[in-house]
Structure 1
């Protein structure tokens, strides 16, 4: 079997970086990821992958997931990543963020490490392995909107998409395997009181006064969570709650008629976001009753559950063996809990550095490219080419 001719690795990286696939809650910034998906589909089809495109219903524009399969059968390995990027401040970059630039022994460009650059590395890794017989499939998943709503990953779960047995997500982790991270909830509390002249409090119902009790109760709840839940494998071992922003009232001599609070809560593995929201709702309902005021409570976006693949998982152990690093935890959220929900042992492992992501001059060190390609090749060989008994260990 002749080796298919793909563009050189650098050209593939440059092609993806040149495509604006920013996802944003702001419709003025939000872009479709379809051009990225279609480019990836062309390359994977060239290698003989069967490619399916999944429409993803998002708020602002039409988006797609890509599912590319090579080989038949059950089990197998999933290599997953997202095709969108965060917005950027072009004036803070030393070079054009949409043009791949090489300097200081690194590639620079928006999404090079987080995480468009992952897909050309997969293509480069699998190309020389295609002459061998695949006992189990290799599945590449490229998703939409990870940086905002995670709608692409949610669509996979809603469809109960049949993928593989083990999954690796190529988010930037400094070549270290990650088997757990906290979840994230972003919530909003809106208190609707009634305004009136400040000279007589009986003329209204002050929403700011009620918010004082809400703040106190949430702080108390945060302290309770910190006492009840603890995981020393995290740098910050307890769940956290950040009271992020508050707005209310319009003038010092008017009773505050409305007040709004937004906060985030980051639960540990084993904590349910649904249970946390129910607990908060009950506490707010009691305050609303005590102060005869209306309190509205709703999420700013659907929550992401905490993620954990047990350290005893054969997949975690093999990733540790390949990287010579013990599996760790991270503070940022990924699509891993959604892949776990589809029945896969999942590890987050990529060549980039999270400290360079979401920053001007995002980069990927050249020194990590070939070592990471070799890791991918060993994973593919182990889980797709050798005996299928490996897949159900």
Structure 2
């Protein structure tokens, strides 16, 4: 577990105020300058710079052979990336919204995830599939889904979800350098920066939130290491992505002395950090935006129960999205917010 934001190998490098979009762009720029095998591909990533502008300026800087647009064909995008990786490149395909990734599932599951094993190590798939995910920008049913649990079920894939610009840059660099396929989900609700107490009402998606300090230059954050957001004794809260900011705001508002872990990578998972925290607090709350049934919170609950049962003083609680198709008009009721999270905290503490 990493208990502060000191990046590996950065020393006393200067920092800049960046939002998550800018930090992702910076990471891509750094890796393309360091490694000529890194290529970026996807719908509108070239001349336009991506629908969220994460690849802005990169085609102009590195040319159309390294940053190029593709047809609207997610299966083809991911399939081509698998072949590029086997050939020796490090492709970074962008799927414009996580909701569109499903046509490429067969290429991810049957090809990318299995290539190293089925070839006895002769070929690898060092590809990083970037995609914005989750709700909060009025995207509707086909632009707001959180499908992370699907990928954590597939052996051979790694799943990464940052919650801060600092982590987005360091984790993306580590993902691109990794020799295995990585699904890199970017919570678009906080693309423009971490929010300050904002967690219970909609806001214009173009509104700027406060930025955070991001070191200049190259640094990476190891995959599989959780971040201690807040130290506490009353309960452990496990979250990732946007929900890290939500649970921190609720804990502060209610005055709950919570030990908050930002998981950052779901696979590989920092189970040691989770065990250490739950054994200390004896209580555990899990919060994620995706639907409840078979969500990643179910796996976390099982792991905590299996490994920390004799330390638990209350049942493990989950607060999640509802088991419904994504409700466009009611998305702010769908999200775990202060009321439901607060009720779960009270329930755990009453035991």
If the length of structure 1 is used for normalisation, what is the TM-score? 0.23
- Bigger relative contact order (CA 8 A; separation at least 6): 1
Q: Look at both structures and tell me which one has the larger radius of gyration over its CA atoms.
A: 1
Structure with more of its chain in helix, by fraction: 2
Structure with more of its chain in strand, by fraction: 1
If the length of structure 2 is used for normalisation, what is the TM-score? 0.24
